[in-house]
Structure 1
Amino acid sequence: MAGSAGNTAGTATGSIPAAPPKAEEHMPVGRLIAFFAMVLGMFMSILDIQIVSASLSEIQAGLSAGSDEIGWVQTSYLIAEVIMIPLSGTLARIVSTRYLFAFSAAGFTAASALAATASNIDQMIVYRAIQGFIGGGMIPSVFAAAFTIFPPSKRSIVSPIIGLIATLAPTIGPTVGGYLSNAFSWHWLFLVNIIPGIIVSIVTWNFIDFDKPEWGLIKKFDWWGLASMAVFLGALEYVLEEGNTNDWFNDNFIVAGAIASAVGAVIFFYRAFTIEFPVVDLTAFANRNFAFGSVFSFAMGIGLYGLTYLYPVYLSEIRGYDSLMIGETMFVSGLAMFFTAPIAGRLSTLMDLRLMMIIGFVSFASGTYIMTGITDDWDFYELFLPQVLRGFGMMLCMVPINNIALGTMPPARMRGASGLFNLTRNLGGAVGLAIISTLLSNRQDVHYERMREHLDWGNSTAVDQLSSMASNLEAHGLEGTTGAIKQMVNMVTQQAVVMSFSDVFLLLTILFGCLVFGVAMIEKPSPQVTGRSGGGGGH
């Protein structure tokens, strides 16, 4: 019926609307070329968040870095990127999408080349921060372009494309990184960006014509707002990334980071609501669907980055997989997303978007529920169905969330809104990873203590198992009882780790189960035409 939420693209379910004028449906070839070049740039930027995750040990060895330093190869990128993402909307308005994207692509490419030449960990951290900050400018621009330069009738095509890239890139990051570092060397994690980066820079410079710069806004730019936002988001990202490793508020740096983030937040929000031209336009949250869409995006960030972290940790610590084997196993989710994208695009024109979201959340929750039964011998085949359900559910959620959040935003607010929308996904990932890593550690301790209480000399089963293990060791000329006790401790520790994974998967199941009921808070989008071609891209 008319007004279906599935009709964000402007097609009412069960009826055929009047065809819009041909001039509005026609897309110049140059704009199509520019858009797909932008999509490639966004893919590179998001991919580089996770491309190093499976190869940190190789980078650590190559740079002679300490175990407490190597994590900053990823953390520095994330901190810098999370600052640029919300800022990009304002920058695009001042300098235009053409200047922002072309220079971001060129800068990202140059920073990638520098990272490949790093000779010590300090250089690598600096180059990765530059790479993340500049690359962050490319991500929201693609979302804004998709919802401003394309007519709504094409949204069923472009929305799955950007949804696929936003979810597929971090998912296959460990796969790509594992293959490159195994087949070549860790340097190729960054060198692989150079040729595509040059192409993207040239194409976007020559073909982007979506909007014009507003140079006069430089005089109104809120530098204090930028500084406070950088402190607020940068310190928050640091606390979330490093908190569990540094025992949270028992560490002075974490305490200082939390205080700095709180102070920065107060100053930032004060200026955002009182300055004539704030560094980030928060009025987009007055749109109810955008606000709830951002909440769902935050939750999807938890699921997306949380599982991209959980699976490799399990496969590495419990199954003993190397980076290439982890990548090959994780690739299942990527394939599921790839094949689901066109289905999701088609369904978005045929059914209520809220129903699509419910199906997606149920699919995702089903995959994590299956994982609550995980044991230490689960392998590729046991992980296959949960990963398929995860990939299918992710795409079936992301397409309607994108459409609901951004599909009804006026073009004038689109660039700022797309930055905020992408920020919520990244912050969701950061919060999710912090909670997951803390839960894994705490629940492991709880399960270990519970099992240890039952492993005493009064437990005949435990004593028989210990005696059997000691006899086996002695038969091989090894120390019996002492060695058997060490083996028993290792077995208990491993089981505690696996049980902690089960707890986290249960928590994710509950989260996505609750999101099903949250869909009721979304207003049914009306089949209005928004973000039409020729809208100025944000004027």
Structure 2
Amino acid sequence: MFAFFCMVLGMFMAILDIQIVSASLAEIQAGLAASSDEISWVQTSYLIAEVVMIPLSGFLSRALSTRWLFVGSAAGFTAMSFLCATATTIDQMIIYRALQGFLGGGMIPTVFASAYAVFPREKQPIVAPMIGLVATLAPTIGPTVGGYLTDLFSWHWLFLVNVVPGIFVIIATATLVDFDEPDFALLDRFDWWGLLFMAGFLGSLEFVLEEGPTNDWFADEAILFFTVICAVSSIAFFARALTAAEPVVDLRAFLNRNFATGSAFSFVMGIGLYGLTYLYPLYLGRVRGYSALMIGETMFVTGISMFLAAPLVGRLTTKLDPRLMIGIGFAGFALGTWQVTGITKDWDFWELLVPQILRGTSLMLAMVPINNLSLGTLPPAQLKNASGLFNLTRNLGGAVGLALINTVLNNRWDLHLVRLHEHVQWASATAVERLGNMAQAFAGLGSDAQSAALKQMAGLVRREALVMAFADVFFLLTFLFLSLVIAVPLMRRPAQPGAGGGGH
């Protein structure tokens, strides 16, 4: 169990680093003298590289063994973390972050596969909540941890914090983990074309989803180019995966109904997990004017809720139908987002308290049984490949969710601005009276008082339109999670949940 705990720590670091820089991009930009267009690649490069490695890890784990894949991933991740802290230019940072994401991505699905292949059925109520907690807690507290480290020390510590735990994970995994044996013969049949097509497909997809909302989608030539690359590569990848003797990714796990349905649920859970980790800080920063540290302190409620819910969820997995737990989790998530559809410019910690508690507990209630039903019903021989695919769906769900959220938020913001401008005009007595009161407040500016009042009025209109757009996005998420409650019966409850031990 201790060896597995060390692996979980490595997975925690890899997932945490997806979001740990999000609250500190301004500080990194200043430190590296980067432009506003360049700095987003500190996060994008990590995501693109990681999304390629996650499905590839199944093949590499069979070829190299769980131990040596994990040791190599942890060593590479730790080394790149140190190099990120020493970067002096934005180009260096982007390269190091891409390598950090690619190498660290191998740790995430390896932990999931080990949890269901190594531990016997009676250990699952302990192991499953542990990995479910890490998979959901790490991205949730990422901005909080990043904000604290940057505020107390400097942005360099976003990466240096990985070095000592990383060395510990490397040593512990190399000496304690012995779950399986390598099959080096697989490397002789490695499908390089399959890897190339998969990288083109997933890398281009991640780029399009990350950059699309801010670059007007297909009106941007780069977005259009990578969309074409994505489409062509996806066709070639699936053709290769279905016809190659030893495909780089084995898709047969999707023939299992529970795995296919669970992957779809995991995809939508990714929208909720990463989408709300993005939405709440965006509202608190742009509307409430919170600092990164204040946002982190407000968001910490969700992390505490997950942590406290984990042992309860572990006990419930032995007593309740897992499908019932999934349904309650989705319903709780929908209730939490429904409560936020009444959001106003004055909402702060206390108004967001109950929605965040519902989010945290609901994520755990749904995530753990989804993992159990999806991976716990597969034969051990398929677990390594399936784990990569399963984790990929969650990451892609997050990417699609962020693209959808940003697009809807921008479109609805424009729509509400138009509608508010129709009401806030010279023909509106209320608007004219409010403008006059503002002008009086700026009376000390003399002739500039009217201009200052108009500017403030325009800012108020934009803020109100933005808040209304936030409410629309939360309504959309509510509908999305309610629809999943209806789909829960598609999953079968296994006769014997969990997996047998034995180190497959």
TM-score by length of structure 2 reads: 0.99
1:484-524 superposed Cα distances (whole Å, 9 cap, x missing partner): 11111000000011111000000000000111001011122
1:207-237 superposed Cα distances (whole Å, 9 cap, x missing partner): 1111100011111110000000000000000
> 1:455: Cα distance to partner?
1.4
Query: Amino acid of the residue matched to residue 215 of structure 1?
Result: F
Q: Note if 1:438 corresponds to 2:404.
A: no
Paired with 1:386 and 1:149, the residues of 2 have a C-alpha distance of 37
Paired with 2:121 and 2:379, the residues of 1 have a C-alpha distance of 13
Match of 1:161 in 2: 130
Q: Note if 1:49 corresponds to 2:22.
A: no
Pick from 72, 77, 93 the counterpart of residue 103 of structure 1.
72
Match of 2:351 in 1: 382
> 1:475: Cα distance to partner?
4.3
Match of 2:53 in 1: 84
Determine helix, strand or coil for the equivalent of 2:342: coil
Q: Note if 1:493 corresponds to 2:462.
A: yes
Match of 1:216 in 2: 185
1:330-359 superposed Cα distances (whole Å, 9 cap, x missing partner): 000000000001111110110100110111
Query: Amino acid of the residue matched to residue 408 of structure 1?
Result: T
Query: Amino acid of the residue matched to residue 379 of structure 1?
Result: D
Query: Amino acid of the residue matched to residue 258 of structure 1?
Result: T
Match of 2:95 in 1: 126
Match of 1:263 in 2: 232
> 1:527: Cα distance to partner?
2.1
Change (3 A) 1:483 1:399: same
Paired with 1:198 and 1:142, the residues of 2 have a C-alpha distance of 18
Match of 1:190 in 2: 159
Match of 2:391 in 1: 422
Pick from 193, 214, 219 the counterpart of residue 245 of structure 1.
214
> 1:531: Cα distance to partner?
2.8
Pick from 486, 495, 500 the counterpart of residue 532 of structure 1.
500
Query: Amino acid of the residue matched to residue 190 of structure 2?
Result: F
Query: Amino acid of the residue matched to residue 11 of structure 2?
Result: M
Q: CA RMSD in A?
A: 0.9
> 1:450: Cα distance to partner?
0.3
Q: How does 1:10-29 map to 2 (within 5 A)?
A: none
1:42-76 superposed Cα distances (whole Å, 9 cap, x missing partner): 00000000000000000001001100110000000
Paired with 2:422 and 2:15, the residues of 1 have a C-alpha distance of 46
Q: Note if 1:139 corresponds to 2:139.
A: no
Q: Note if 1:318 corresponds to 2:287.
A: yes
Q: Note if 1:180 corresponds to 2:176.
A: no
Query: Amino acid of the residue matched to residue 456 of structure 2?
Result: Q
Query: Amino acid of the residue matched to residue 121 of structure 2?
Result: P
Match of 1:508 in 2: 477
Query: Amino acid of the residue matched to residue 97 of structure 1?
Result: T
Match of 2:85 in 1: 116
Paired with 1:456 and 1:327, the residues of 2 have a C-alpha distance of 39
Paired with 1:456 and 1:48, the residues of 2 have a C-alpha distance of 47
Paired with 1:88 and 1:225, the residues of 2 have a C-alpha distance of 14
Pick from 448, 452, 459 the counterpart of residue 421 of structure 2.
452
Q: How does 1:288-307 map to 2 (within 5 A)?
A: 288-307=257-276
Pick from 514, 517, 521 the counterpart of residue 486 of structure 2.
517
Paired with 2:424 and 2:109, the residues of 1 have a C-alpha distance of 55
Q: Note if 1:205 corresponds to 2:205.
A: no
Determine helix, strand or coil for the equivalent of 1:206: helix
Query: Amino acid of the residue matched to residue 263 of structure 2?
Result: S
Q: Note if 1:479 corresponds to 2:411.
A: no
> 1:476: Cα distance to partner?
5.7
Paired with 2:388 and 2:3, the residues of 1 have a C-alpha distance of 19
Match of 1:18 in 2: none
Paired with 1:218 and 1:355, the residues of 2 have a C-alpha distance of 43
Paired with 2:37 and 2:184, the residues of 1 have a C-alpha distance of 44
Match of 1:4 in 2: none
Query: Amino acid of the residue matched to residue 163 of structure 2?
Result: I
Change (3 A) 1:454 1:107: same
Higher helix share: 2
Query: Amino acid of the residue matched to residue 521 of structure 1?
Result: L
1:268-298 superposed Cα distances (whole Å, 9 cap, x missing partner): 1001000110000100000000000000000
Paired with 1:317 and 1:123, the residues of 2 have a C-alpha distance of 30
Match of 1:40 in 2: 9
Paired with 1:108 and 1:177, the residues of 2 have a C-alpha distance of 18
Pick from 297, 300, 311 the counterpart of residue 331 of structure 1.
300
Q: Note if 1:461 corresponds to 2:430.
A: yes
1:335-386 superposed Cα distances (whole Å, 9 cap, x missing partner): 0000001111110110100110111111111110111011111111111111
Percent of aligned pairs with the same amino acid: 63
> 1:477: Cα distance to partner?
4.8
TM-score by length of structure 1 reads: 0.93
1:446-492 superposed Cα distances (whole Å, 9 cap, x missing partner): 00000001112111111111111111111465722211111110000
Query: Amino acid of the residue matched to residue 486 of structure 1?
Result: K
Query: Amino acid of the residue matched to residue 245 of structure 2?
Result: E
Paired with 2:288 and 2:72, the residues of 1 have a C-alpha distance of 43
Determine helix, strand or coil for the equivalent of 1:527: coil
Paired with 1:478 and 1:163, the residues of 2 have a C-alpha distance of 61
Determine helix, strand or coil for the equivalent of 1:276: coil
Match of 1:286 in 2: 255
Determine helix, strand or coil for the equivalent of 1:221: coil
Determine helix, strand or coil for the equivalent of 1:68: helix
Paired with 2:425 and 2:54, the residues of 1 have a C-alpha distance of 55
Pick from 391, 413, 416 the counterpart of residue 382 of structure 2.
413
Determine helix, strand or coil for the equivalent of 2:169: helix
1:5-36 superposed Cα distances (whole Å, 9 cap, x missing partner): xxxxxxxxxxxxxxxxxxxxxxxxxxx22100
Paired with 1:248 and 1:396, the residues of 2 have a C-alpha distance of 36
Aligned length: 504
Paired with 2:147 and 2:426, the residues of 1 have a C-alpha distance of 45
Paired with 1:128 and 1:140, the residues of 2 have a C-alpha distance of 20
Gaps of 5+ in 2: none
Query: Amino acid of the residue matched to residue 337 of structure 1?
Result: M
Give runs of ≥4 in structure 1 deviating > 3 Å: 475-478
Determine helix, strand or coil for the equivalent of 2:38: coil
